[in-house]
Amino acid sequence: MKAVILVGGKGTRLYPLTLGTPKAMVPILNKPFLEHMISYLKKYDILDIVLAMGYLPDPIQSYFDDGSEFGVRITYLVEDKPLGTGGAVKNAEFLLEEPFFVFNGDVLTEIDLGNMARVHRETGTSVTMALTPVDDPSLYGVVETDTSGMVKQFMEKPSRDEAPTNMINAGIYIIEPEILGRIPSETFFMVERELFPVLLEEGQSISSYASDAYWIDIGTTDKYLKVNHDLLSREDLSSPCLQSDNDTSHHEAMIEGPVLLGKNCALGENVRIKGPAVIGDKCEVGDNATVEGAIVWQNSKMGRSSLLENCIIASNCHVGDNCHISSGCVLGDSVVIGDGSNLAQQTLVWPGHYLRCT
Ligand code: GDD
Ligand code: MG
């Protein structure tokens, strides 16, 4: 089966990380998010992939090219204006003859796609959607089903009181091509608001595949931090763990817990890194600095005696000496933080800014 992956959104809830990097290219364990997704699809022999793109398509296309290096075949479609989750699939209609998968391009999961395809075949419906349980369904598409798994109601982002269940649309569908006749061409159209609820109102059947396998939407900065932490804690890394392929110099660094260290990094004396934490390629950590739970992208420098706690530092940043970057802070690309700065919790710094605050 082919897969259409929706990667055209702006990823505004991940700002400032996605101001220069599309959500699909945001690194998770030092690899673009989409690379993880492609590995997942390959496990199910889904090798023909259509990427429906809009915002910042170039970095995606230049990294994945025709997909052959990653063992898949990729076709790129770029929207001139956002077409929404339905319009983007309609735009791929000329490539879709058989039933196909659609994936929201910001979901990392282990939902069993083989079992989902079996449910689709057995129920014979035009649409099958994967469901997952969450704590706060009001942030998602909430899906109520009957005892046989047929969808009764689809409500996109209802209030907490309105949500009839905590089972939500996991952002994975199997769709029969004839359904595309229900979506107008070249028009902004959301399947969550204009297709699924309408099909149900008309009495058409939508089946579901509920799963409690690992599932996360990486769409916010706290989820982004969490997915890195989750994967590091689950990866088969011995603890304490120092992973680096080559050329990383670390004098007397103290590494505790699962830590992924990129290539060609330089760690000063008495550096302490407490996992789960990720340091990208070509980073420098100055003498006596402490990194705790942070995710650092490539080519960033942390000054001497600085403390980084559960924060996200994008590429090419420079954190001065004696700084304290508190939990939940997010630095966009190429941010410079002056020596001795103290960043309060949850501070967001836009790319290219210089900040000095004590
Ligand atoms: N090509 C294209 N064009 N892709 C788009 C567009 C567009 O105009 N708009 C959004 N997308 C992509 C995004 O890049 C993302 O991968 C996916 O569609 C879903 O958009 P989000 O903006 O992340 O939606 P959401 O997270 O608020 O809600 C959706 O996902 C939830 C699961 O994570 C909905 O499908 C919910 O019903 C669902 O529960
Ligand atoms: Mg999302």
pLDDT of residue 234: 79
pLDDT of residue 20: 92
For 73-85, what is the mean pLDDT? 97
Task: Report the candidate in 81, 89, 88 with the shortest Cα–Cα distance to residue 174.
Answer: 89
**Class for the domain spanning 225-357:** mainly beta
311 pLDDT above the threshold of 50: yes
Q: Which residues, 6+ apart, have CB-to-CB distance to 91 below 8 Å? A: 52, 77, 79, 83, 185, 186
Tell me which ligand sits closest to the C-alpha of residue 170: 1
Give one DSSP letter per residue of 5-49, joined into a string.
EEE-S--GGGTTGGGTS-GGGSEETTEEHHHHHHHHHHHTT--EE
Q: What protein residues have CB closer than 5 angstroms to ion ligand 2?
A: 106, 217, 219
For the chain, domain boundaries: 2-219, 225-357
Does the beta carbon of 83 lie inside 6 Å of ligand 1? Answer: yes
Calculate how far, in angstroms, residue 106's C-alpha sits from the geometric centre of ligand 2: 6
Q: Are the C-beta atoms of 215 and 170 separated by less than 8 Å?
A: yes
Helix/strand/coil for 88? helix
Calculate how far, in angstroms, residue 239's C-alpha sits from the geometric centre of ligand 2: 32
Mutate to test the pocket of ligand 1, among 10, 85, 211, 226 (most ligand atoms within 8 A of CB): 85
Q: Ligand 1 atom closest to Cα of 7?
A: 14
Calculate how far, in angstroms, residue 250's C-alpha sits from the geometric centre of ligand 2: 38
196 pLDDT above the threshold of 50: yes
What is the pTM for the complete model shown? 0.95
CA–CA distances in Å: residue 60 to residues 45, 75, 192, 312: 22, 12, 26, 21
Q: Are the C-beta atoms of 74 and 66 separated by less than 8 Å?
A: yes
Task: Report the candidate in 281, 274, 214 with the shortest Cα–Cα distance to residue 27.
Answer: 281
Q: What are phi and psi of 77, to 5 degrees?
A: -125, 130
pLDDT of residue 198: 97
pLDDT of residue 358: 75
Does the beta carbon of 57 lie inside 6 Å of ligand 1? Answer: no
Average pLDDT, the chain: 94
Say how far residue 20 (Cα) sits from the centre of its chain: 15
Does the beta carbon of 133 lie inside 6 Å of ligand 1? Answer: no
243 pLDDT above the threshold of 60: no
CATH level 3 topology of 2-219 = Spore Coat Polysaccharide Biosynthesis Protein SpsA; Chain A (3.90.550)
Confidence of residue 355 (pLDDT cuts 50, 70, 90): confident
Tens of pLDDT, residues 123-132: 999 999 999 9
Tell me which ligand sits closest to the C-alpha of residue 60: 1
For 42-61, what is the mean pLDDT? 97
For 100-115, what is the mean pLDDT? 97
For 95-113, what is the mean pLDDT? 97
Confidence of residue 197 (pLDDT cuts 50, 70, 90): very high
pLDDT of residue 135: 94
Rounded CA-CA distance 120/129 in Å is 9
Does the beta carbon of 7 lie inside 6 Å of ligand 1? Answer: yes
Mutate to test the pocket of ligand 1, among 80, 104, 190, 196 (most ligand atoms within 8 A of CB): 104
For 148-167, what is the mean pLDDT? 96
Share of the chain above pLDDT 70, in %: 95
Does the beta carbon of 293 lie inside 6 Å of ligand 1? Answer: no
pLDDT of residue 240: 40
Pairing outcome for strands 301-302 and 241-243? unpaired
Q: Report the length, in residues, of the chain.
A: 358
72 pLDDT above the threshold of 70: yes
Give burial (CB, 10 Å; 0-12/13-18/19+) of 331. buried
Confidence of residue 246 (pLDDT cuts 50, 70, 90): very low
Does the beta carbon of 292 lie inside 6 Å of ligand 1? Answer: no
> Which residue's CA is the closest to the ligand 1 atom numbered 16?
105
What single DSSP character describes residue 192?
I
Mutate to test the pocket of ligand 1, among 6, 134, 188 (most ligand atoms within 8 A of CB): 6
Least confident of 237-251, 264-278, 319-333: 237-251
244 pLDDT above the threshold of 60: no
pLDDT of residue 248: 61
Does the beta carbon of 171 lie inside 6 Å of ligand 1? Answer: yes
For 300-325, what is the mean pLDDT? 98
pLDDT of residue 250: 64
Tens of pLDDT, residues 259-293: 999 999 999 999 999 999 999 999 999 999 999 99
Calculate how far, in angstroms, residue 11's C-alpha sits from the geometric centre of ligand 2: 8
Tens of pLDDT, residues 85-99: 999 999 999 999 999
Mutate to test the pocket of ligand 1, among 25, 76, 106, 142 (most ligand atoms within 8 A of CB): 106
